[in-house]
Amino acid sequence: MIDPLPELSTEQSDPRYSQIDRLPTERIARLMNQADAAVPAAVAVVIPAISAAIDAIATRMGAGGRLLYVGAGTSGRLAVLDASECPPTFGTDPELVQGVIAGGPDALTRSVEGAEDDGEAGAAAMAGLEVGALDSVVGVSASGHAPFVLGALSEATRRGALTVGLSCNDGAPLSAAAEHAIEVVVGPEVVTGSTRLKAGTAQKLVLNMISTISMVRLGRTYGNKMIEMSAMNNKLAGRALRMVMDITGADHDTAEKALASAGGHAKTAVVMIRHGLDAEGARALLESHGERLSDTLSG
């Protein structure tokens, strides 16, 4: 089969790394570290495009829409990872932010490389999720050519969803298929074509921004605090306790009792203490202020 993508920057061979198999371990590690250091700068170039996409996503999510990531291979695994972190970090319903990977769940732990070539499967995945006009679909593909992702974005567009294309090459078909194009051009990899390296790091950085800033825009933080988190283990219980004490100025025992009454939900505990309410009253007050803690405390 003829390689259809030889011209892509992510597929080029960098002569600086042509002899890495003959170098000592520390030298290879330093070369990789130097290569990785260029990634944040490449992301910085496209921050305006990232910001515009995030604002559009947050607007639709604020109206009740979902955020759906679609990718194949490494890109798909990063997409699923970012989505899976939203419930524990921001207290979201697992359905609100979802990751879709070509090849399905099996592709998370073992390579199902051929799955990325199935554009019809990408479209079917969007149909299966009943993507609609309030949803935002972010296609993630280092090459920007993955048929599974392109098929998904085409179907999402047909259904009226917002579409974003995240790739690591200039002029990618994914950019043309999306309403918002984000192209983080990181160049050739240390190991030629291994886009789990710089391209994967770039994608992770951008996905971090998309999910985190969207949640900030939706009021799911208070300042820089994960106010929506629930204390589901000892580490999180300690974090929630410190958070409640810091925001309210309450002592340890008061904060601990409020958290217990709130079922470990830090935001509810804060409102209980600040407004002298029980858990039910605090939840009702939060709901009346759109679940935004800053508005609830100042109102």
Integer CA distances (angstroms), 266 to 180, 199, 294, in order: 35, 37, 14
What span, in angstroms and rounded, lies between the C-alpha atoms of 26 and 32? Answer: 10
Q: Which of 11, 85, 256, 291 is catalytic?
A: 85
7 is catalytic: no
Does 85 qualify as catalytic in the annotation? yes
HEC profile for the chain?
CCCCCCCCHHHCECHHHCCHHHCCHHHHHHHHHHHHHCHHHHHHHCHHHHHHHHHHHHHHHHCCCCEEEEECHHHHHHHHHHHHCHHHHHCCCCCCEEEEECCCHHHHCCCCHHHHHCHHHHHHHHHHCCCCCCCEEEEECCCCCCHHHHHHHHHHHHCCCEEEEEECCCCCHHHHHCCEEEECCCCCECCCCCCCCHHHHHHHHHHHHHHHHHHHHCCCCECCECCCCECCCHHHHHHHHHHHHHHHCCCHHHHHHHHHHCCCEHHHHHHHHHHCCCHHHHHHHHHHCCCCHHHHHHC
| Residue recorded with tokens 């600086």 | 16
Catalytic member of 116, 155, 183, 228: 116
Q: How far apart are CA 120 and CA 129, in angstroms?
A: 14
Q: Any idea what the Cα angle at residue 14 is, between residues 9 and 16, rounded to 5°?
A: 155
CA 44 to CA 104: how far, in whole Å? 32
Give catalytic residues, as residue numbers.
85, 116
